[in-house]
Every structure is written in C-alpha cells, then in structure tokens.
A and B are shown apart, each in its own frame.
Chain A
Amino acid sequence: MAESAAPALRKPGLDAKLTRRLVAAGGIIALLVALVAAVQSGAIGRGNVLYDVLVDPFVLMVQAPDLLVQTLWEGFVAGVLYALIALGFVLIFKASGVFNFAQGIMVVFAALSLVGLYEILTVRMGLPSGTVAALLALVGAVGVMFGLAWLVERVVLRPLVNQNEIIMLMATVGLTYFLIGFGEWVFGGNPKVMITQELGLPTGSSQFDILGGRVNVQHLDVAAALIAIVMIAVLGFFFQYTRIGRALRAVADSHKAALSVGISLNQIWVIVWFAAGVVALVTGIMWGARSDVSFALEIIALKALPVLILGGFTSIPGAIVGGLIIGFGEKIAEFYWGPLLGGGIETWFAYVIALAFLLFRPQGLFGEKIIERI
C-alpha cells in the first residue's frame, strides 16, 4: 500500500507540468500548420499583415543568407560591446550593492581624458603625434580612472557606508552631474575625435564573398570584439581564481563576515571602482571610435539596462549572455521587422526583449534566486 501511495502522491505535480508543456507545444505546432496551410492555399499572401510579420522575414533569411550573416555579425559586435558596458555595472553592484548611475558618464570621462591627455602631450608638450604619445595618454587615462576610484571611495562611499541603497543611488546621480560639469570645464564641451589610429587600432574593412553574396566586416569591429572578449575573460578569471577576486566575492556576499576575516572594505571598493573605470575606458575607446567622443555617448549606458535586466545585476556570465541576446535581437529585429514599422526600432527594441523576459524570470537569466529559510 505504502509503496504505491508514494509515487501516486508525487505524480500529479509532474503530470500537470508535463501536460501544460504538451498543450503549449501542441498549440504552437497547430498554429504553424495552419499558417503553412493558409500560405499554401493563398489565403494569406504578400501584403497581408500576418504574412509580412510571420512569413516574409524568414523567407528573406533563407533566400539571402549573406544578409543574415551580415546582420548576425553586426549583432554580435553590438552584443559584445553591450556586455562590456553591463560588466561595469555588475562589478560595482556585486561588490558594494550600489547601482552606479555614473557608469555612463565614466565612459565619456575616460574617453575624454584619453583624448585630452593626447592633445596636451602632442600640442602643448611637443611630443610627436603617433603611437608613443597615444600609449602615454592611455597610461595617463588609466591613472585618471584610478584617481577617480580613490576619490569616490574617500569622498562618496566611505561617509555613506551602511546607508540605504536609494541614498547610494542618489550619490551616484550626484557624481554623474559632477563629472559632466568637471569634464566640460577641463576638456570643453565640443565633441572630440577618438585617436583610433594612433592607438594602433585598425581601420578600414574587408569584404568576404560567401553564400552567394558579400559580407562586409569593419576591422575596428573585429578588434573591438576581440578586446572586449579578452577583457571579459580576464575579469572573469580574476574574480574566480585569485585572492583579491575571492575577497571581492566575499564582500559581495557579506560585509560583516568579510570584515571579520580582515578584508578591508575600503581597499576592495577602490579596486572595484578602478576595474569599472578601466572597463569604462575600453568601452569609451570602442564606442568613441565609431562616432565622436562627446557627452552624448553617456546614453549608451542606458543600453546596459535591458542587458542587466536579462542577465541579472550580479552575474558576469549573465552580462555576457544578456549583451549578446540584446545585440542579436535588436539587429535582427531592425533589419527584418523594422521596415514594417518604418524603421528605427533598434533604439527601443532592447527594452521590449527585456520586458518579455521580466514576465517570466524576474530575477534575470543568471541572477541569484533569493532563497531564505524561515
């Protein structure tokens, strides 16, 4: 009796789940069959909304695979760069629980420091323009980001330790406006040109003939993707396998316990903000090279929000996968479905993807599910 009763008790739960899935799958298959039948019989043809939305884009993908490859490549590059921006947020959020509103302006500030230092070195100090001056400026810009991290810890974080999250958020909003004002005062408000070539980054593009068409690849995009991947790998490795990485994770988990084993919160915060600053610098170089270095670049930080919603605020793999999903998603949506809405859906489509995800996984793809014993 008891033996047969136990599985019977467990089964209904499993069955209900399985049934629900089967019904959903069956429904989708039935819809697809109906759609194919309708297209075959000519009931839904070109010009019909259903045809344009559900059939035409896929027909185009199959008929012109070279365009699909081109779109996917652009999506990949955009995705890797989004991941990089999101990483800056994740680093700081993990270690200090602060949503750093200033991450976007840090990107601008880092890029401006780099270009500004290069100008000072070449114009005022008379160094010959070229790689040497550019690399010196790069080292200088890294130094500036370290100084910023140190100052932020000293002036903003330390006095506000243990304050409410909303107060910390407001502090970073304040930091944003300070950096805008300070940056304009020091570097001026005019857009500047990123020193792409001087830094040794490739320009130009190559064409590849594949799949009966031509795919165009910008060399800068290749470099950007490679550098971003290396950067993400190094940071991930550092967090996972070194003493300081372990200390960072420890601080993220429990301030109290971290203090008791002798980890200095102040030191960790400086390191984290510095790491986020270096990420901001790399991001600034890559995005600056594609357009101008100006304060308008700040809004790319807003692009990181949907990535963070997808990936969860505390997960580095989440930032990477989230970035790629958003990158692929928005480029494909723009190219294949954009014309139906008059184009330009790229700017807001990321938020649609994020919203759809929020409905099903509020904690994000890799976010920590909060389990608490009661």
Chain B
Amino acid sequence: MRAPDNPVLVKGDVLLAVEGVSLGFGGVKALTDVSFDIKKGEIRAIIGPNGAGKTSMLNCINGFYHPTEGRITFKGKTRPRMRPYEAARGGIARTFQNVALFKGMSTLDNIMAGRSLKMKSSFFWQLLRYGPAMNEEVQHRRVVEDIIDFLEIQHIRKIPVGKLPYGLQKRVELGRALAMEPELLLLDEPMAGMNLEEKGDMSRFILDVNQQFGTTIALIEHDMGVVMDLSDRVVVLEYGRKIADGRPDEVKRDQRVIDAYLGVAH
C-alpha cells in the first residue's frame, strides 16, 4: 500500500501526454478520442473490460500502431509517426500480454539483448571482440547481472527461456525491459496467468522498480485488487473511449465504471 501523500498529490511533470487519440482498423474503431497523461514517477494503470482498447493504447504509445487521429507527446516532443525502435531509443520499454521473448536464447542473452541500444562499439571491433567491444561487453554484463540479482532469477541464467515456466518467463521479460533503463515502462498484463504467490512477487518487483529507480510505469491489469494497491492513478476505457480517470478510490466509486464492469440493468 502506498501512502496517500506519495507522488499522487505531488505534481510531477507530465512525461507522456495522449491527446484526442483515435485508432481505426478499416471499419473497426479501436480507440476514439482518448486523452490522458502520465506523470513522471507515477504508476498509472489502464483498465477496462475485454476489447476496451487497452493494448491498442499501449501499442500506440510505443509505436507499433500509428494513431489515425490525435497526437502523443513524450518528454515534450510530438512525433507524428514513431517507429518502435525510435520509441525504444527515446526511453520507452515494454512487456507483452502473451510473453514475447527470444525463446532460443538464454535468460542472460535475453536480458543482454535489452542492452542493445546502450552498446555503441563499432562493427569492426565487434568482429574482433577485442578492445572497446570487449570492455563494453563486460561493463554491460555487470548491469545485467545486477538486474538478474534484483529479480532473483540467478538460478535460470543459462537456461533457454523457451523451457521456463510461464511465471518466470514473465519475470525475464520484465528484466529485459529493465535492462533498457527506460524512463517509461509499459507493462501489458504483467500478472496474467499467475498464481497468488507469483502475483505477490511481481507486485513487489513493480513497486521496487518504481521506488528504487524512479521509473514511471504504465500498466494494464485485470486483477482489480492489484490495480487498486499498486497504482497512483487509473484510466478506465470502455469500447475504445475513456470513461473515467483518477485515483483508484475515486474510480472505484464511479457509476460508469461500475456499470462497465457489472453491466447495466435495462
């Protein structure tokens, strides 16, 4: 539980602003005129019933989709068409709803892959794996080992991640995102398919990341208990529209949110 006087009330700078974003696929409207912002240092939850457009929103933020209307401003800069690797370069990392890992590679290599952008040595030195390339490899390996310790996954360092159970794969995926040292971390259902104990661990990691590294986090989650405990502010989407936005306890009492989740008597 977070004390109410945490960043919620302290006005952080706006890290990312979504303004009037709409997204359509042919005739289907996934998002309609959605606006909200994410402030630096907060944990922002995006919730809503299935098909509400939560993942589409995340995909827009990190450049997998391009909004048909509206704009997204990140760190004060608006880019009309952002490619995913540009988003990554700008400091946006993410995890996926149904884990997207490099299944043939070990845990260590997966997390090292998250350092790709931080490594700068030239093609030539890499070919020799000597000089700058070697120093760089060692230096980044140290960061990765810290992340591995932090997530308590030392015992699976060398195992190809395809062989790991689902809960651990989710943790490796979080590790890979952390390796990018992101300013904004997008988590798409980080606790889906987990048991109670794994959910507890994951919640702890998310809070630790937020508090120790000051990383801003936007997460999609279905488990209401988790959302209410973790997040500072919540956006609620339904059928691609925003129906509520505010502190968890406010959102919980909102009649439209209750209707969206429980249905309305006609």
Chain A interface (Cβ within 8 Å of chain B)? 234, 237-238, 241-247, 249-250, 252-254, 256-264, 368, 371, 373
Contact = CB atoms under 8 A, between A and B. Distances in A.
Nearest to B112: A246
A260 B103 contact: no
A254 B102 contact: yes
A252 B129 CA distance: 22
A243 B119 contact: yes
A243 B116 contact: yes
B96 interface: yes
24 contacts: A238-B126, A242-B127, A243-B116, A243-B126, A246-B116, A249-B104, A249-B109, A253-B101, A253-B102, A253-B103, A254-B100, A254-B101, A257-B176, A260-B84, A261-B114, A261-B176, A261-B177, A262-B85, A262-B89, A262-B117, A263-B116, A368-B104, A371-B162, A373-B166
Contacts of A254: 100-103
Majority secondary structure, A binding face: helix
Contacts of A242: 126-127, 129, 133
Given A242-B127, A242-B129, A259 B85 contact: yes
A187 B121 CA distance: 39
B85 A263 contact: yes
Interface in B61-105: 62, 64, 83-85, 88-89, 93-94, 96, 100-105
B64 A259 contact: yes
A245 B89 CA distance: 19
B129 A237 contact: yes
Given A257-B176, A260-B177, 14 more contacts: A237-B129, A238-B126, A241-B129, A243-B126, A244-B126, A250-B105, A250-B113, A253-B103, A260-B84, A261-B88, A262-B89, A262-B117, A263-B113, A264-B83
B116 A262 contact: yes
B102 A257 contact: yes
B25 interface: no
B218 interface: no
Contact of A256 (B96, B119, B129): B96
Interface of B: 62, 64, 83-85, 88-89, 93-94, 96, 100-105, 109, 112-117, 119, 121, 123, 126-127, 129, 133, 136-137, 162, 166, 176-177, 179-180
Nearest to A260: B94
Given A246-B116, A247-B113, A259-B64, A253 B89 contact: no
B133 A257 contact: no
B231 to A, nearest CB: 22
A261 B100 contact: no
Contacts of B64: 256, 259
| Top-3 shortest CB links A-B | A262-B88, A253-B102, A257-B100
Contacts of B85: 259, 262-264
A247 B115 CA distance: 10
Contacts of B109: 246, 249
